[in-house]
Amino acid sequence: MKGERILYPCYFNGSIERKEGRRVAKTRAHPNPTLADLERAAKKTGLRYRIEQKHHPAHWWKREGRIVVEWSESKETLLKKVAAHLVTVK
């Protein structure tokens, strides 16, 4: 897992609070992003990634999946980069 970061759709969900799992600011958040939305944003950003059908531990009943991205910088930088492209996807 060294050099990889995991991204869940709930990190970018503007309809939930930070304490529920959102990791980006509401201004950068997307209303109800799906795994497909995250995949398009990652592809548009030019990142190397793979999709896994696993769930966020705090949201185990949703089964929304996740993306594992090859990334060596901070996760915060990655979140901002993907969020910027996520907004332009829809």
pLDDT of residue 1: 62
Round the average pLDDT of the chain to a whole number and report it.
91
**CA separation for the pair 33, 84 (Å, rounded):** 13
Task: Express each pLDDT in 37-68 by its tens digit.
Answer: 999 999 999 999 999 999 989 888 888 999 99
Q: Residue 13 forms beta bridges with which residues?
A: 30
pLDDT of residue 81: 94
Q: Enumerate the domain spans of the chain.
A: 4-89
Cα 20-69-53 angle, rounded to 5 deg? 65
Run of H or E including 75: helix 75-89
- Looking at the structure, give the CATH architecture of the domain made up of residues 4-89: 2-Layer Sandwich (3.30)
